[in-house]
Amino acid sequence: MNNDGLSWQDPEKLAQHVGLTLRNIRKDRGLHLQDLAAITGVSTLTLGKIERGEANPSLTIIWKIANGLSIPISALLVEKQEVQISRVNEGSKVISANDALTLEPMFTSSGYSSLETHRAFLKPESEYCADAHQPGVIEFVTVMEGSVCVKVQEERFELGQYDSIKFHSDKEHSYINKGDTEAVLHFVMIYTGRVD
């Protein structure tokens, strides 16, 4: 596979990679081959051959599998890198409308999980108000430097350096830095897809 992660030179290696990835996704979701066949429209015989690396699936079959599992096609095709480095100030940045918070996505997810990691910088004496995220999103936040008040609806939680909080972020929430130095936060957001 070349460095950009988009094409495979060896069809046999591609078949083995797709098969192993598909098997892992299916097992992670607790599905049997029959269940997978029902949601993808691909026969159990074909799915079994793909999982064993005995078949080089066509793009049409890969699309059917990805659509049935509600995953991006890249989740089956892109080879995961064993080691990735995210350096501060080298990636893309998203700045809040009021300029209070700068968010740096740390890693792109080429896998099938729904997880995001970010580092964030909250200016001194500022507040960032976040709208409610989609149902089922769980947010984990750790204060790496400074101190922050996290407000979830009307409840407030004071966090110092290395303190962490976990909450369902499908409610309005905000981050308040009352100090005179920048606060550095580490975010992990998990999209569970659950609405309970």
Span 11-77 CATH architecture: Orthogonal Bundle (1.10)
Residues 115, 109 contacting (CB under 8 angstroms): yes
Residues 185, 143 contacting (CB under 8 angstroms): yes
For 94-191, CATH number out of 1.10.260.40, 3.40.50.980, 3.90.1300.10, 2.60.120.10 equals 2.60.120.10
Q: Residue 170: which pLDDT band, with cuts at 50, 70 and 90?
A: confident
| Nearest-10 Cα torsion for 154, 156, 162, 168 | -20
> Domain locations in the chain?
11-77, 94-191
Q: Which residues of 27-64 are buried (b: 16+ CB within 10 A; e: fewer)?
A: eeeeeebeebbeebebeeebbbbbbebebebeeebbeb
- 13 φ, ψ (degrees, to nearest 5): -65, -40
Share of the chain above pLDDT 70, in %: 82
Q: Mean pLDDT throughout 183-189?
A: 94
Q: Please say if the pLDDT value at position 108 is more than 60.
A: no
Q: For the segment 115-139, what is each residue's pLDDT rounded down to a tens digit?
A: 778 899 999 999 999 878 777 889 9
Q: For residues 71 and 187, which has the higher predicted lDDT (pLDDT)?
A: 187
Q: For the segment 38-91, what is each residue's pLDDT rounded down to a tens digit?
A: 999 999 999 999 999 998 777 678 878 977 887 766 677 766 666 777 788 876
Q: What is the pLDDT at residue 116?
A: 74
Q: Mean pLDDT throughout 100-125?
A: 78
Q: For residues 146 and 1, which has the higher predicted lDDT (pLDDT)?
A: 146
Q: Residue 6: which pLDDT band, with cuts at 50, 70 and 90?
A: very low
Q: Mean pLDDT throughout 101-110?
A: 72
Q: What is the pLDDT at residue 74?
A: 62
**Does 94-191 match 11-77 at the fold level?**
no
